[in-house]
Every structure is written in C-alpha cells, then in structure tokens.
Amino acid sequence: MHEYYEREVRPLLIPVGLDPAHPFPQVANKSLNFIVRLSGKDAFGRENPISIVKVPRVLPRVIRMPAKVSGGKTLFVALSSIVRAHLSSMFPGREVGEFSQFRVTRHSDLAVDEEDVKNLRTALRQGLQHRHYGQAVRLEVSASCAESLASFLLAQFNLPPQALYRVHGPVNLARLTQLIDLLEEPQLRFPPYQASYPVMLSPGQSFFERLQQGDALIHQPFESFDGVLTFLREAVQDPQVLAIKQTIYRTGTDSELMDLLREAVRRGKEVTVVVELKARFDEEANINWAEMLESIGAQVVYGVVGLKTHAKMLLVTRREGRQMRRYGHLSTGNYNPRTAKLYTDISHLTADPLLTADMEAVFVHLASQNRLPKLHRMWMAPFDLHRNMIARIDALAAAAAGGASARIVVKMNALTDEALIAALVNASQKGVKIDLIVRGACTLPARVPELTENIRVRSVIGRFLEHSRVFYFRQGEEESLYLSSADWMNRNMLRRIELAWPVTDPALRRRLIDECLVAYLHDGRDAWELGADGIYGRVDREIAAGDGAGGHGAQTALMDRYASRGRSRAASRE
C-alpha cells in the first residue's frame, strides 16, 4: 500500500496548514477531506495546530489488492484508509494527534429569480460555476471524531450542532458502487438481459402506417427504447414530415435523439423543442443542447416561468395528400436511452386525432404563453390534473357509498399530496378497495383500523427502478386507465407542467392492467408492504430470511415473457 500511495496518491495531495496566510480552504460539495491536529512547531517555529488534507476526486475510492498481497482472497482497501495510514508522512517533524475524515454537503439548487433575470439560460450557466460551493447544509465526520475538531468544522461552515452527522464507516457509501467493476464474480451479478424489439411494432414497417391501424405501447426496459428512436428517425428522414415538436427534461450528455433533432433542422423541417433548463443536475447538458439547437435554427422554448416542464411528449406533423396528420409519442419517463435500460416506463405511440390535437395545444400554450384551450382527453397540471384526480376518486367514493363496487389501483413513485391522500382515505372509508404501488415516499398510513382498512400500500424494489405512473379507476363494469408523467406530490400537481392521458383502447388497457398492476400486486419476491405501524415488511418472509428462492417477481416474469416473445419473433422470421 505504501508503494501505491507513493505512486498514485502522494503526488496529488497538498496538506494545507491553517494560519492567517492560509485560511480554511474552499471545500467542494461532498468531497472527501481530512482534518488533522498537529503538535510541535512548523518550519517557521509557529504553533499552527490544524491542517486540512483535500483528497482529489480523480482518485478511486476503493482499491483492489493484488494477489501477492491478498493471499488469493478478494481484498479491497478504501482510499480513506490509505490516506489515514500515511498522515504522519505528510507532516515531517510534527506529531499527528486527533484526526477525522469529513464531508460537507452544500445546497446545490441553482437559485435564480426567473421573474427578474433577463436571460435564464445565461443566469443558470453562471450559477453552474458556483454549484459545488453553495451554502453548507450538512457536515459528516467519522464516528470517532474528537468533539473539538467537530466543533471547529461546524464553526468554519457556519452550521449548527444539529447539522453534524457522525458516520460509522465511509462517509460516502455511494462510491462503493466501484466494487461492481472491480469484481469478476458472475454469480453476484444479474444475468444479462437484452430488451426485445417492441412486440406491437414490426421491424421495417413504417410507423405511420402502423399507427394508422391503432395505438401501440412500449413497456421499457423489457422492450427496447430503440422503438422510440426508430419512430423519430423515420420522421426525420420522411420528406412528408413538416414539423417535429418535443419536450426535453433529461436526455444525457450523449444523445442520439438530440442528434436526430439536429438532422431534422438540417433537412429543413420545423423543429420546436421545449427544454427544461432547471432539470436538477442536468442543467449543463440541457443548456448545451439548447444552445446547439438554437444555433442551427431550431425554435427553442424554455417552458413557463416558475413551473418545471416535466411532461414527456413528441409530436410529428406529416402531410398526407391534401391534409395534415399528427403522430405522437407520450411517455411516463424521460427521453434518455441510458435510463431507459434501467427504469420501468410506458411509451404510448398514437395517431388519435383528439389526443394529438391536445398535444399540439399544449405545445402552442408552452411556446406562446396564451391561455390553454379546453383539452379533449388530456389532464394538465397545474390546471386541472389535480382537480380531476380528486374528482375521480370522490366519484368512486360516492358510488361505493351507494352500494356499487368500486376499485382504485395506482402505481407511482411517490404519494405525499395531502389533498389526494385525504380523498383516498375518504374513499376507503366509503368502501372503495384501494391498492397503491408506491416505490418511494408514501405518507398515507395503510391498514389503520376504521381509517384506511381498505387501503393496501406496497413498494416493489427489484433489478429495475420502478418509474411508470399508471392510474386505474373502476366503478361496477366501467373502468378507466390513465398514464402520466406526474407523481401524486404537491410539486407535480401545482408547480410543474405535467400530463395525464387516458388509454381508450380496451386491448391496450388490459395489457397495462396485466403488466403494470396485476403483476406487481402479486409480486412475492421484490415487494414490501406497509403495515398499520408505519413499517414496511417483506411480502415473502422466507425469501427475506434467505430460506428459499421461491416467489413470483414481477420484473423477472416480465423479462421472461418478453425474452420468449423475442425468441418466437426471431424464429418466425427464420
């Protein structure tokens, strides 16, 4: 380890002794640092007892030991341990006393007054330069950190004692993800999975011809996001396509989709892109894409002041004979090929004239800021999405109170909106049977006697991140199902541009019920249920205890289903 330290680490470290000429250094957000108390005097005969060692981010946080050191075992050492072991060598002639690693978390939102700034894009780009050095909000130190050192750090960052967290082990567990790339243990990895081409689409068939026959769904990542890219690629290459409009929230820094939009401009098509510049931690990528598209002649719109544009839609306008026809793509997730392999989402392709007319109206509204006309099928936040969801729940509550059977099944990422929670609790008390599949935060108490006895909450945590939003309502024999970009949170309902739209085709609706709702309600492998005590418990206790590999996992079942469909399609082509 000494050899590694001398070769890889020491040349990048510069300890900073604190004195009037060397004040406390600027420490970046969530960077690894050490604070050291020294005894003795420095080279100039002064007693400056505190020194700071900043550990560069370019160094790996976990180092695998070579076989000659590990004795054939798989052995890793944390970078922090290597630095700690060599602290004394950094201060020749001084004695190292108390020390601790530490990490400060800073406020990272780009705070700009959108009403006041003349150019939001310029203001955000300037703000990006200072993001890593915003106001400190949390200080993490080692569990053994001396009280005097912790108090010194709190004072330097102007933090109260409540902001101090003593951590047992590494201060940044996220960096342990590097272990995945350092291990050659196939039995510890998920088996490889290759998403199938969307089953409702045929390779080589024109998307325009296909959508004239009816809508199509893509269930990602079980089916490939390439279907969406192929749709856009055909639109770009088709000389009859006159205009393409798209919202951009998170696409990533390297995006074929953005390259296709650039090619569309080059081919003379009217391209309008609504870019959300304040998509957190994607601001720089979105600013770069916006500037690139503007520079070649695309119409770039930055949404509505004070509201994040979180809706996901792509609209293509095509000349067919003497009329114009629209083709649309709506999604519960982002136009990001990388996350499309990791997140479960639904893509909805349609030529429905009412639905695509609604999409056109939303694009015009975002670009012009004119009043939104009444939409045919869509619900849009912050206007009527919240109100309509509550009204739909209340209608089922009234039906149940009158003796009718009523059912609600909702799948989303988070449920924290108080008004929607109140509506669900009221519906439960009136006799509506409610299942909530909520991956993350849920502030609705389930299974509480005389309050939420009819509500079951479960969270499915598996190989993929559950991201699709599906809202199902049934009264008697009448059912409706909506897809959406919005979670049931106050911010989504009242402070963002969000969309929810109905799936009217019975066959598509049945497929969504089967794959997105029923499969997850019967998951016996990856599901957790919320108890009346507010604690989640594994649905399959045997698996939780490691006593068996049985149980049904929704994600595994869907992977198997689509893998078999892909093999059947390949066999039929042969």
Indicate which residues carry an active-site annotation: 310
Q: What is the DSSP string of 369-422?
A: -PPPPPPSS-EEETTTHHHHHHHHHHHHHHHHHTT--EEEEEEES-B--HHHHH
Gap between the Cα atoms of 116 and 93, Å rounded: 56
Collapse the DSSP code of 116 into the 3-class scheme (helix H, G, I; strand E, B; otherwise coil) and give the result.
Answer: coil
From residue 315, how far is each of 178, 330, 336, 357, 446 by CA, in Å? Answer: 40, 9, 17, 10, 40
Tell me the backbone φ, ψ of residue 29, rounded to 5 degrees: -55, 125
In this structure, the strands spanning 308-309 and 496-502 are parallel
Residue 387's alpha-carbon distances to 199, 290, 390, 419, 488, in angstroms, are 36, 33, 5, 10, 12
What DSSP string describes 471-503? EEEEETTEEEEEEES--BSHHHHHSEEEEEEE-
Question: What 3-state DSSP class applies to 52?
Answer: strand
Cα–Cα dist 174/417, whole Å: 29
Tokens of 538: 């594994």
Q: Name the amino acid, one letter, at 403.
A: G
Give the burial class of 46: count Cβ atoms within 10 A of its Cβ; 0-12 exposed, 13-18 middle, 19 or more buried.
exposed
Contact 382, 361 (CB under 8 A): no
| Eight-state DSSP code of residue 304 | B
Q: Which residues does residue 126 pair with via DSSP β-bridges, in sequence order?
A: none
Residue 359 in contact with residue 328, Cβ under 8 Å? yes
Residue 56 Cα to chain centre, angstroms: 27
Nearest by Cα to 533 from 454, 476, 473, 452: 452
**Distance of alpha carbon 32 from alpha carbon 55, whole angstroms:** 6
First to last CA, the chain: 57
Residue 233 backbone dihedrals phi, psi, to 5 degrees = -60, -40
CB atoms within 10 A of CB 19: 13
Three-state SS for 527? Answer: strand
CB 95 within 8 A of CB 264: no
